[in-house]
Amino acid sequence: MKKIALWMMVIAMAAACSREADNTMYVKGTIKGLKKGTLYLQKQMDSLIVSVDSAFVEGTDTFMLQDEIESPEMYYLTLGTGDKKIAFFGERDTVYVSSNLDKFAIKAKVTGSENQALLDKYYDMAKKFNDQNLDLIKEEFEARKKGSQDSIAEVEKKMNNWTRRRYLYTTNFAINNGSYEVSPYIALTELADANVALLDTINSSLSDEVRASKYGKQLNRFIQSIKENQVGENPSN
């Protein structure tokens, strides 16, 4: 009986360790040119950015950090006092981050995170939209400088079309990736000022797992708060 009890205890401990490992994110990587310094793994908790792990590096440019993670969310790899910071989507298992000391955030490369890969894809397109917006701002400045009302009206029309296209692309991207946590994250960070109907559409496209994630819950609360405010502004409705 004692042997059976001992084996049951060993099995229970192994199962507990397995569950813990399943929820652990390991962040491994290399920072070329880093000879000595402290790297911090940080994430947002409520309204604060807090450190969840740290590693002092000396004589090597490799590092490893870890954190227990309930669902994929944004993390920050921060060097020293925080002037240099790499944002990335953390996930269970191992995420690899590589960069160099001089261009810490600019040259950062993150692999091992499906959500980060999707976010990078979205940001590539978002950059094109931002470049178009800069061109439109310049065009509007020139039109106002000349005092041409027709030109100003034409630019405003282009800007409205640009806004609609950006919202449409972002919404479609989030809907098409509703099984990933990047979907509600993009909705919260890129569509916060959009019509609540768009946010509702994204919310309804989320998988059950994503809906129960950190950003899935935040998106649902955000939508509900908008609707409550709208009812407050229109009590007759």
The domains found in the chain, sorted by start residue, are 24-112 (2.60.40.1120), 116-233 (no CATH)
Query: Looking at residues 191-210, what average pLDDT do you find?
Result: 96
What is the pLDDT at residue 147?
Answer: 85
What is the pLDDT at residue 236?
Answer: 58
What is the pLDDT at residue 19?
Answer: 42
What is the pLDDT at residue 208?
Answer: 98
| Residue from 121, 128, 202 nearest 166 by CA | 128
- Res. 237 pLDDT band, cuts 50 70 90: low
Q: In this model, does residue 9 exceed pLDDT 50?
A: no
What is the pLDDT at residue 57?
Answer: 93
What is the pLDDT at residue 10?
Answer: 41
What is the pLDDT at residue 37?
Answer: 94
For every residue of 130-166, DSSP letters joined together read HHHHHHHHHHHHHHHHHT-HHHHHHHHHHHHHHHHHH
Q: In this model, does residue 235 exceed pLDDT 70?
A: no
What is the pLDDT at residue 47?
Answer: 87
Per-residue pLDDT reduced to its tens digit, 23-45: 999 999 999 999 999 999 999 99
What is the pLDDT at residue 82?
Answer: 80
Chain centre to alpha carbon of residue 214 = 11
Q: What's the one-letter identity of residue 100? A: N
Report DSSP state, residue 13.
Answer: H
What is the pLDDT at residue 15?
Answer: 42
Per-residue pLDDT reduced to its tens digit, 93-151: 999 999 999 999 999 999 999 999 999 999 999 999 999 999 999 999 999 988 889 88
Per-residue pLDDT reduced to its tens digit, 139-191: 999 999 888 898 889 999 999 999 999 999 999 999 999 999 999 999 999 99
What is the pLDDT at residue 21?
Answer: 54
CB 220 within 8 A of CB 203: yes
Q: What's the one-letter identity of residue 18? A: S
